[in-house]
Each structure stands twice: as C-alpha cells, then as structure tokens.
Amino acid sequence: MRYSVLAAVAALMLATGVEADTGKPVAVRFWGQGLVTIETYWNLRVAIDPYALRIGYDDPGIEADLVLVTHEHYDHNNVRLIRGAKHVVHALDDTGAMRTVDVVLDRLPNRDDVQLTSAVATVLRSAHAVRVRSVGAYHDAVAGRDRGEVGMVLIEVDGVRILHCGDLGQPLLTPSQLEAIGTVDVLLVPVGGVYTIDGPHAARITEQVRPRIVVPIHYRTVDLTLPLEPLDGFVEALPDRYRRVSAPGNTLAVTAGIGPSVESPHVVVLNTRPWPMPEELATLFEHKEAAAAASAAVFAALSTTQMNHRPGNGTHTPRWNAEHMMGAEAEFFTAIYQREDPSLAALKLRPAQMPDAYHAAHPDWTGGEEARQIERVQRLTRRFAYLLADLPLDEKPPRSWWTLRGLLQQMQRHYDEHTANVMRKFELPDWPAAPAP
C-alpha cells in the first residue's frame, strides 16, 4: 500500500516528536556522477556518494554535516572529499550486505553541536530535523550476483521526501521496495547504463515511483572519464506529461505541497557546477552579508533575558530587531524567487511592527540562536540566487518595491541601522546585566 503525502508527513512527525515545518524550501544540488548534496533551511547539509577525483570531476569544495555512502565503489565512497563531516553512514556493512539505516540528523535550538541519533530513540528534535532511511536494492539485474547490493537512501526534511537510488541496477523495483519508499517529491535516478540501469529502464523506474520531480544523475558529461551513456535516452523515454526544465546551475528548489505534481511532473536537468554569479551582483551580496555577519556577532553575545528586554523608553526588544531584519530579507527575496520558480515557498517571517502587537517567534532562543537565524537567511538568499540569473540589476521585477541593486543595498543599510539601534540599548539605565559565567 502506497503512503499518501499526509501519511508521510505524519510519520515524520511521529518519529521526531515535533511537528515538521513543511513550508521551508530545500535545495538539491548535483555535482556529477552520483554526488548530490541536500541543504536545508536549518543549514543542515547532507552529501551523498562523493566521487574519487580520478573520474574527471574537480574538487567541488563541499562541506556537509552528514555523508551517506550507498555502496563501496571508488566513484561513490570518497568520504575525504567532503569537508567538515562529523557523521558518516554507509548503507552496506564490511561484508557488502545491506545495513538497516534509520537515523536523524539535527541541531537543537540554543545548541552548537549537530547530532546523529537513531530515529527510534526517544529524543527531543527540532521541526527541521533530517531523517534518513535506507531501502535495499541490487547493483545489477541478476539479484546482486555480478555487482552486489546497493542502498537507496530516502531523505525526509521539512515535509519534502527525496530518494537517491545510488547505483541502481535492477530493471524494476519490487512491490516491497515501492512500499518502503512511499511517496517521493524528488527522485534522483541513474540513467547512464554500463554500471547501472540505462535511460529507458530509468524511465520505467520513474513511472513506478511517480515523483513530482525527477533529476537524472550518473550519466556521461564533458568532464567524466568513465564510459557512461548520455542522458538523452532517459529524457526521450519519459512520458509526454513530464515537462523538461534546464537549470542555470546545479541547484533545484523544492518545497512541500507546491510546484510540480504527480500528474504534471518535471524532469529537471541540472549542471554539475553552480551558477556563476556575475561580479557586480556578487559584490552587492558580499556587502549585504558582511553587514548581516556584523549584526549576528552583536546578537550572539546576548542572553535570552537581554534579547527579550523591553526598554523603559518604549523602544523594541533586541529580539524584535533581529526578527525584523532577517524577516524582511527572507520575505523580499523569496517573493522574487517564487515569481521565478513557483517550487520555492515565499516566506513571511517579519514580526508585527508596533511593540504592543509584537509576539516573539521564539522567546526562548538565546542571542546566539537568533544570530544563527540571521545566518540561515543569508544562506537561503545566496543558495537560491541562481533564480536572479535573468533579472537586470536596475529594473524593478514585477510587483516589487525595489530594483535588485536597490534591494541589496537597502538590506545592507537595514542590518547596519537596526544593529546600531540595538547597541544603543546597551547604554540605557535599565539594560539587564549579562548572566554570570
């Protein structure tokens, strides 16, 4: 029996003990061969199947919190390629047999460390935790007798379900595999043949899974030295209802409940390199991000009591300033991004303007966590900046108050001004002292 979308989300809620936030966009990024990264709003980063550089691709300079390895071939298990990874999960054990993988990657508010725990453990989790499960499969069409087993990995975060098929070699999925997989938003399927299924078989697998979005991986590119087939056979074998979309870079935005549907799915062809941001736009981004980083540094030193302090002079709490700054940036940019790609949710995080109407979104967060929230918005804005590729700097997009240049400059001023306002509160006679260490 296939899971419904609601059942899948409910299962995630049950596993984490909290309600999943289903309104935040998730980024899926393709780097060539089987290497895919998933980046979340909470800034949790998962890398899957990092390749050895001898297959032709350059070092992409990826950082991740978790590395997943679907099987132990050199073009999929180069864990050292990924920087900063504290957690590594192999789908196969030392004998080449499937493990049962069911883990949760998370970082709780007000905590610095990213943790990996068993999904069945009773632990407190955030609404943005990443759950990872394995589904066993074969690397060949003869029940693993030639190339052994491979672990498909199912990633669930923010209501989005992503299936990476690894080096899938079996020509069709079994009913038990389909039941274990359930509903899929994004299917990452190998299409290059030779070592995996080819294009026509990948199209049949896609029809079995029925995702909203399918992204071909593991095929011949100009950089790859392995003798794989190109992706054309896969795209041509898909039914006509799949709309082909070519991205300007290597990133796909996906949000639960919006964008393509099972009835009108997309096949998205990603590049193996990020979109190269033009120099002038990059400079504007850097200036805005520098102002945000300076602001985050001020908030990071404040206690929860100080963040919630309402000065006697009637001005806002420091927490309001933090929420207002990052909320304005998130709202303005995601509105532009959604006009370019309806698969990306427009976020409305700005608090009420007047002090009496304001209710803190997270009154228990320390200043350090609010600083991380500012950083999350910076990452989100840059992560999906490829959607600005066709927008001129000095023309107003439809239904926008600002030109792109004006918006970036205004956000820079916004961080500077509100941070200065907060720092002036430190000199007020009723400003609370920092807690004793």
How big is the chain, counted in residues?
437
Class of domain 279-425: mainly alpha
The half-sphere exposure of 386 on its side-chain side, counting CA atoms within 13 A, is 20
133 CA to centre of own chain: 17
Q: Which CATH number fits domain 5-269: 3.50.50.60, 3.60.15.10, 3.20.20.70, 3.30.465.10?
A: 3.60.15.10
pLDDT tens track for 363-372: 999 999 999 9
Q: Would you state the pLDDT for residue 362?
A: 96
45 Cβ contact list (under 8 Å, min separation 6): 37, 38, 39, 63, 64, 65, 66
What is the DSSP code (8-state) at residue 83?
B
297 CA to centre of own chain: 25
- Contact (CB, 8 A) for 71 and 91: yes
- Contact (CB, 8 A) for 354 and 320: no
pLDDT tens track for 401-414: 789 999 999 999 99
State what percent of residues in the chain have pLDDT above 70: 95
Distance CA 373, CA 381 (A): 12
Per-domain residue ranges of the chain: 5-269, 279-425
Q: Would you state the pLDDT for residue 8?
A: 35
Q: What are the backbone angles phi and psi of residue 347, rounded to the nearest 5°?
A: -95, 135
Q: Would you state the pLDDT for residue 4?
A: 35
Report whether pLDDT(16) > 50: no
pLDDT tier for residue 19 given thresholds of 50, 70 and 90: low
pLDDT tens track for 21-75: 668 999 999 999 999 999 999 999 999 999 999 999 999 999 999 999 999 998 9
Taking the alpha carbons of 202, 203, 205, 210 in that order, is the dihedral positive or negative? positive
Query: Across the chain, what does the average pLDDT equal?
Result: 92
Q: Would you state the pLDDT for residue 68?
A: 98
Q: Side by side, which strands form the sheet with 186-190?
A: 115-118, 102-106, 130-138, 149-157, 160-164, 186-190, 213-217, 266-269, 243-246
The half-sphere exposure of 60 on its side-chain side, counting CA atoms within 13 A, is 26
* Residue closest to 374 by CA, chosen among 316, 298, 284: 298
Q: Would you state the pLDDT for residue 419?
A: 96
Name the one residue in this structure whose structure tokens are 């639960």.
256
Q: Would you state the pLDDT for residue 15?
A: 39
pLDDT tens track for 238-266: 999 999 999 999 999 999 999 999 999 99
